[in-house]
Chains A and B, each alone.
Chain A
Amino acid sequence: MSIGPAWYLSLAAVLFSLGAIGVLIRRNVLVMFMCIELMLNAANLTFVTFSRMLGDIGGQSLVFFVLVVAAAEVVVGLGVVVAIFRRRANTTADDLHGMKG
């Protein structure tokens, strides 16, 4: 067998934290999307690890659905980014204050 689940869970926690740092400190909308993908991957790794740990296929099924939702999220998010870029030329999240009161 492979090494214990604690290592995988710790790695997933660190990966999730890196994704969270990226979302918080980056200003480029596309890179923020990529960091969200990092966080989703960390969650997937956790699911697969628990699936093996408990001997249950349910975790892997959930990863399947996370993949589908991630694909849909990326498609809609990039559509929004393209629509925003029609109106203004840069991608920083600070410029998107059109709905500010």
Chain B
Amino acid sequence: MFAATVPDAVTFAVCAVVVLSGAIGVIASRNAVHAALSLVMTLFGVAVLFIEQHAYFLAAVQVIVYAGAIVVLFLFVIMFLGVDRREDIDAEPLKGQRPLALVLVAVSLVGVLTLAATSNWVTGAHRVVGSLSSGHHTDTYLLGKSIFTTYLWAFEITAALLVIAVVGAVVLARRPSRVHDTVVEPGDAGPVGPGTPDAGVPERAEVSR
């Protein structure tokens, strides 16, 4: 079933290199913007690996949501906060923490790989939710069917989760209203009429920040 063909092997090899080099770029780049761009590289590699495993819908969602929305959000915050300068990556505040972290992660990785290589896959029942290869339905059809029948309650909960996250982000990012915050900065007023009194528009100044 899993007989490898040459194009598949080449695709996997190229994507593995792209994914891992992007990940190394994320953890090793001094500039936060470079780290975000390396993250895009990794996300695209993972999307291609999704396509390689016939998860077409998830590959599209990966590109749209991760590379399109989340990374742009990261870049917005980086630019917004003005931290797109090089940081001193060599400073080590905790003595010996980095070698210890590297050793611990290496031990965990070797342990996981050894376990995976030497043990059998205990997997339980096949096709609890729905078969991937049933007839000629596409993966999008099967995914939608599974989400809107088996996992409908979880899907509704994610709607509530997203609303809570948006409200929480607005509350967190909102500045506490003070008197001197209500002054509209010159050039940023935009649609606000001239001579707007600063009494009733505390939100207007936040937009320009």
| Interface residues in chain A, defined as those with a beta carbon under 8 Å from any beta carbon in chain B | 1-11, 13-15, 17-22, 24-28, 30-31, 33-35, 37-38, 41, 44-45, 48-58, 60-61, 63-65, 67-76, 78-83, 85-86, 90-92, 94
- Chain B residues with a Cβ under 8 A of chain A: 1-5, 8-9, 11-12, 16, 19-20, 23-24, 26-27, 32, 35-36, 39, 42-43, 46, 49-50, 52-55, 57-58, 61-62, 65-66, 69-70, 73-74, 77-78, 80-81, 83, 87, 89, 91, 93, 97-98, 101-102, 104-106, 108-109, 112-113, 116-117, 121, 123, 126-133, 139, 142-143, 145-147, 150-151, 154-155, 158, 161-162, 164-166, 168-173, 175
Residues in B whose Cβ lies below 8 Å from that of A31? 26-27, 32, 35
Which residues of chain B have C-beta atoms less than 8 A from A80's C-beta? 172
Residues of B within 8 A of A70 (CB): 66, 70
Q: Is the CB of A25 within 8 A of B27?
A: yes
Q: Is A38 a contact partner of B42 (Cβ separation < 8 A)?
A: yes
Instruction: Point out the residues of chain A lying under 8 angstroms from B1, CB to CB.
Output: 1
A31 to B143, CA, bound (A): 32
Check B27–A56 contact: CB distance below 8 A. no
Given A31-B32, A69-B161, the answer on whether A1 and B2 have CB atoms closer than 8 Å is yes
Tell whether A83 pairs with B172 under 8 Å between CB atoms, given A1-B2, A28-B32, A65-B158.
yes
Extra 9 A-B pairs, beta carbons < 8 Å, given A10-B116, A11-B49, A24-B97 = A1-B4, A18-B24, A24-B104, A25-B97, A25-B101, A26-B89, A64-B61, A70-B66, A75-B73
B70, A71: Cβ atoms closer than 8 Å: yes
The residues of A that contact B147 with a CB separation of less than 8 Å are 61, 64
Cβ contact within 8 Å between A65 and B8 = no
Q: CB distance B36 to A34 under 8 Å?
A: yes
- Bound-state Cα–Cα, A11 to B108, Å: 14
Q: Are B165 and A72 in contact (CB under 8 A)?
A: yes
* Closest 5 pairs between A and B when the two form their complex, measured CB to CB: A22-B27, A79-B172, A24-B101, A72-B165, A79-B169
A27 to B92, CA, bound (A): 9
A94 to B66 CA separation, bound complex (whole angstroms): 28
- CB-CB < 8 A to B131: which residues of A? 55-57
B137 closest partner in A (C-beta):
A57
Q: Are B65 and A67 in contact (CB-based, < 8 A)?
A: yes
**Given A7-B12, A24-B101, A41-B42, A78 contacting B74 (CB threshold 8 A):** yes
Cross-chain contact B101 with A83 (CB below 8 angstroms): no
Q: Decide if B70 touches A48 in the complex (CB within 8 Å).
A: no
